[in-house]
Structures are given as C-alpha cells and as structure tokens.
Structure 1
C-alpha cells in the first residue's frame, strides 16, 4: 500500500466521507478575489484572520509539498426541532472549531498525529485550521465544486459538510481538480433565500451581511468591526442566534438530505430540552452548562454576546409575552445586552414595552444603550 493510500484509508477510518490530495502551490485566484473585495474583508486581510497569508501554503509550512483535503459530512443524524432555525447545523454537529477533547477536534488531531507518525511535518495555524483556503483546496483536490452561495458541494453529500486541510512537506499522489459549478444554470434559490442579501453576486458573499458575521465574528475586536449589530440587519436575523442555514436549505443539492428520515442524536436531544431564547437571554450558570457549552463554544464564550443574540431573536419573535424578560435584560450589567434589549422592546412595539423603555431611559448610564432606548421609543 502506498503512502497516499495509507493516508486515504486512515482518514476514511476516522469518519471522513471523502479524501483528496493536491499540490501545495499558491492560490492566485484567492489572492485576486481578496484584492477585488478588500472593502468587504478589510477586517481580516492583514489582521485578525490574516487572509493574505492564506494565499501561499509556504507561509503556513515552509517546505510544503502537498495538501491533504478531508471532507466530513456532518448531516448524518437528525437535528432537534427546537434548535433548527436558531442554531446552524454546523455548530450543532460539534465538528467545527472544537478542541481535541471533543470528537470534532479529536478527529483532526488524530489525523495530524498519524501524518507525523509517518515522518511528515504538518502545518498548523489555529485549532482545526491549516490556514489555507479550504474550499478552493477541496476543488483542486477533485472533491467537488463551489456554488453561487460560495459553499462547497461534494457529490452525494451536498453542502452540509466541513472541509479540513492538512499541509505536509512530502510529495504525494495528486488528484485531478474539479471543474465548473454544481449549481443548475438558472438556479437563484440560495440568493433569494438570504434575508440580508449577503450573496451579492454569483459566487460572491459580503461577509458583513451574513448572519453568522453578526452572531459570532464581530465579537473579537477585529479592525473596522463593532459588537453592536447593525440595526438594519437585526430585523432580518429572525430567530437565528448562532449561524444560519437558509441558503443551504434552499439548495437543490440538499433536498434529499433534508427530507431523509435520520436517526436522532441523543446528546443533541438532551441539550435541546434545556434550550430556550429566554434562558439564553438570562444565561445563568446552569443554563450555560446544559444548553450553551455543548455546542456553542466555537467562536466565543463571553455570555454577553449570547445574550445579545438572544435579545435580537426575541425582538423578532413578535411575542408580547417576552416583554418582562427583556425588561430584566434592560437592567443587565453589560451595556451591550441592555442596548440590544432596548432594540428588541422597540421591535415588539407594545404599550408595555414603551413603559419599560421610558422607565429605563432615566437610569441608563451607557451612551450607546441610551441611544438605543431613544431609537426604540421612536419605534413604538
């Protein structure tokens, strides 16, 4: 068995669905696209994610020769009804940015250790990521194609998948790249499904308009970002509090999987019993342990960001019975929470919501929260 065959077999044994291998040549189209779209990515090009460094695998691993690409299908079990439409399936699957003590992170760590045991150096960047354009590497490794919503699609799987890449310093047997797109010629379903218009053109996404950006990316202090969600985006966020699946749910390549009768996941079902938007808004220690830590500790752990997202979703619920919990949030120690609770009260728009806002304005000491309360009063 060749070294390449050993690698493929081991990755499949770990649970990966597809494995491909490509060269460690640079990604010039990625560099070109980044320069063309710099206004959309100014927060991540040279700071934060440092996307410019992703162009050349040599920047991640000097002496890089090959990129091993492994695709994991995370839609193998049923997702709880209580979580669908609120938490993206990727995060529910616990296969994204996970530590090696969790199954998703352990799979990546085991793959790395296997490659190292074979005498290879393996590039590392951040947790599960090697720091190269994973989806472009997957295309170059012949595993599938990219669609209009910029998601990667593997034949027979769809787009509910995650791509892991492993940069190594040895030459392997390379696969032929895939060509074209998986999208039907005139299909616009993903573009039409996006509530914020984040898919601004075919194969082009404005990350700042993507719900996931507002949920989890703008919390890290990246250049030109703010943890205060754009008021224009908030009403379009619906009930989502951590990621979004709308463009994937609209994709024809996912229809069979969405209709399939899949086995339930006991772990998720148990966590879902404890999850609620009001619980997330209050965010006490017990709720955090049972309903947040199991699948939401990916990008962030600070409770105020989860509370912020919950407040927006509650505001979008249209349920006047939610006013009391928002009134309590209007007294939260964190100004960020108070500001978004104020917006949510204005969004609900009831007479009771107005009374809460009017009572809260005189005692508000935060300048941003006070602005939000005044704006909310104009909404009701």
Structure 2
C-alpha cells in the first residue's frame, strides 16, 4: 500500500499538526557535513516537517515561568506528533526516524555556547515550503507567524515535495529584532549564541533552566503572521 504525500499530510493534521510540508532529500545537498538528513538516516528520501503554534499570549507574561513552561510543552507535543506520524508511516510499510523537537545536542561548543541539533529544523521547514527564515534567524510561517514550533521525521519513501515559499519575506529594511536585542547578538542572518544565551537563559532554584528573553520574537511585526 503506497504512501502518498496527500494522505500523510491529512493524517498529520488529524493528529494535531497545524501545518505539514515535505522536502526531497535533494534539497539538502548543501547541508553541513554531519548534519544532512542522510547523516542521521542513510536511507532517507524525504524529510517531513510539522508544526504547531504556541498559544500566542504565553509570550506576554512578565514572569519567565509561563513562557518557559509553554515552550517545554510545545517540544513534548511535537515529539508526540512525530511519533504518531512514524507509526502511521509504519502501517504503510514505510520506515523512518524522529528528529527531536529540542535537545539532546550531539554537537556542543562549551566555549562559544553553540549547539547544533542533528538536523536544523528551521532550515528543514524552509526546504519543506512551510515558511521563511526571518532576519532574527527565527522560522516564520505566513499564517501563524514566529510562534510555531517544529518537529520532523525522516522516511525512506520518496514523496511529492512542496514548492518553496518564495513570495514571503521580512518587511523591507525592518531591523526591529536586531536593533532591540539587548545583547546585540543578531548579525546578518546569524546569531552569536554565546551572547544570546548569556541573557536569554538562566538557572533558577533546583537547577531549572528558564527562558529569560524573547524580545526578538515578541517585537517582530510578523509574530502573528502576515495580515
């Protein structure tokens, strides 16, 4: 029973995805060595990316706990969604592996506080036609803005891929994220993770990791999508 892109997307939406896109492995030829889908799963032929939107009010709390907790819940939701997708693929005779929505990292530079997931989900989402990379390097979806969280699976079936989103970009000359970053960590389509993490993350009592800054996400004129 051959799996089609249409039925896989339909299933994704039925189990909670708010969007789903597919990219052929051919779109990842320029991925850094060690971070290509085939470095994770050598039989990968298609990268399937899904997203859900964080409730948008979570970012407005003055206390860091609500946003931090919402972010952790989003990662769990995306991982559950990815596992459901893999079980569906399995029922169709297609094998695949999950890409974690967050940690663990395999690559971590302690000095630079620079981490890389086994696959860049935001780059994969762009290649799957779900949106674009903002100047802040945050992924932005046309309808749901920059409040989306991503998950992905790699499968060994070649499916019809989605067209790239080439008519959607940051507003011309908009530099709100860069100008308002308290660490001046945002460069030309890059972020100094050490500068960012020094301000954005801190450990509270009992060692809890908390998110302490979301200015670039909150002030973005596309935070809630393109009106």
Normalising by structure 2, we get a TM-score of 0.77
Tell me, yes or no, if structure 1 residue 69 matches structure 2 residue 49: yes
User: 1:131, 1:65 → 2: CA distance?
Assistant: 17
Runs of 4+ that moved beyond 6 A: 127-130
Partner of 1:53: 34
TM-superposition CA deviations, 1:246-305 (whole Å, max 9, x none): 101110012679xxxxxxxxxxxxxxxxxxxxxxxxxxxxxxxxxxxxxxxxxxxxxxxx
More helix by share: 1
User: 1:84, 1:241 → 2: CA distance?
Assistant: 13
Partner of 1:244: 213
Tell me, yes or no, if structure 1 residue 140 matches structure 2 residue 127: yes
Tell me, yes or no, if structure 1 residue 210 matches structure 2 residue 196: yes
Query: Secondary structure of the equivalent of 2:223?
Result: helix
User: 2:198, 2:70 → 1: CA distance?
Assistant: 14
User: 2:11, 2:82 → 1: CA distance?
Assistant: 12
Change (3 A) 1:213 1:184: same
Aligned residues: 208
Shift of 1:96: 4.2
User: 1:173, 1:204 → 2: CA distance?
Assistant: 31
Partner of 1:118: 92
Greater CA radius of gyration, 1 or 2?
1
User: 1:216, 1:168 → 2: CA distance?
Assistant: 37
Shift of 1:206: 0.7
TM-superposition CA deviations, 1:123-162 (whole Å, max 9, x none): 2455767832211111111111111000111111100111
Q: CA RMSD in A?
A: 3.2
**Native 8 Å contact 2:143 2:225 kept in 1:** no
Partner of 2:179: 192
Query: Secondary structure of the equivalent of 1:107?
Result: helix
Change (3 A) 1:250 1:127: closer
Mapping 1:168-183, distance limit 5 Å: 168-179=155-166, 182-183=169-170
**Native 8 Å contact 2:96 2:155 kept in 1:** yes
**Native 8 Å contact 1:24 1:167 kept in 2:** no
Tell me, yes or no, if structure 1 residue 18 matches structure 2 residue 22: no
More strand by share: 2
User: 1:90, 1:146 → 2: CA distance?
Assistant: 23
Runs of 5+ unmatched residues, structure 2: 104-116
**Native 8 Å contact 2:100 2:151 kept in 1:** no
Partner of 1:106: 80
User: 1:207, 1:181 → 2: CA distance?
Assistant: 26
Mapping 1:164-313, distance limit 5 Å: 164-179=151-166, 182-199=169-186, 201-211=187-197, 215=201, 241-254=210-223
Query: Secondary structure of the equivalent of 1:7?
Result: helix
Normalising by structure 1, we get a TM-score of 0.48
**Native 8 Å contact 1:145 1:153 kept in 2:** yes
User: 1:151, 1:113 → 2: CA distance?
Assistant: 30
Give the alignment partner of residue 118 of structure 2, picking from 126, 131, 137. 131
**Native 8 Å contact 1:208 1:214 kept in 2:** no
Runs of 5+ unmatched residues, structure 1: 32-51, 218-226, 228-239, 258-380
